[in-house]
Amino acid sequence: MIYDFVVKQKGSDVSLSEFKGKVLLIVNTATRCGFTPQYTGLEALYEKYNEKGFEILDFPCNQFLFQAPGSDEEINEFCSLNYNTKFPRFSKVKVNGKEEEPLFRFLKDNAPENTGKNVKWNFTKFLVDRSGNVVHRFEPTDTPESIEKSIEELL
């Protein structure tokens, strides 16, 4: 179950059970990617729906052409200064391969779309319902605005 996973944030363990009962959008991100401007749309969704039980969990990933360089602190500062993001950002992860974050293996294996396939690029998004079920996988080309209706349906 998704709530069994523990991830890193600022060097500390964070249990995803802290997000139990919320709708989650879990995203692998990068600060130097053509999709980086999606941070604007993600923050707009977060501001609009956070009080209704919506969370965005941001996992920077440097696995695709090294487009998330820098430390976790530098990435966080970049996102705060350039996109005014307020949603939780976690430590940098790998989303594919031998060293992949177990959470992303779970997401890939349990998403109804493209089940088990590797994450293709930065800004792949996984939508999780209030019960912890992975209900959608959205590709990087799916903008935050284009997935808003799917989020609303779960809230």
Side chain identity at residue 74, one-letter code: E
Is 122 inside a domain boundary?
yes
Asked whether the predicted pLDDT for residue 67 surpasses 90, the reply is no
Structure tokens at 152: 């609303």
Is 13 inside a domain boundary?
no
Which residue range is the domain that position 80 belongs to?
23-154
The domain total for the chain is 1
The C-alpha atoms of residue 111 and residue 83 are separated, in whole angstroms, by 28
The per-residue pLDDT for range 41-53, each reduced to its tens digit, is 999 999 999 999 9
The C-alpha atoms of residue 65 and residue 75 are separated, in whole angstroms, by 16
pLDDT at position 56 is 98
The CATH number of the domain where 109 resides is what?
3.40.30.10
Annotated catalytic residues are 33
Asked whether the predicted pLDDT for residue 69 surpasses 90, the reply is no
Is 12 inside a domain boundary?
no
Residue 10 binned pLDDT confidence (cut-offs 50, 70, 90): confident
Side chain identity at residue 107, one-letter code: L
Is 8 inside a domain boundary?
no
Is 5 inside a domain boundary?
no
Query: Is 128:23 a contact under the CB 8 Å cutoff?
Result: yes
The per-residue pLDDT for range 18-30, each reduced to its tens digit, is 999 999 999 999 9
Is 127 inside a domain boundary?
yes
Around Cβ 72, how many Cβ atoms within 10 Å? 17
Around Cβ 99, how many Cβ atoms within 10 Å? 9
**Mean pLDDT of all residues in 95-113:** 92
Is 61 inside a domain boundary?
yes
pLDDT at position 68 is 87
Q: Which parts of the chain are beta strand (E)?
A: 6-9, 12-15, 23-29, 54-60, 125-128, 134-138
Is 118 inside a domain boundary?
yes
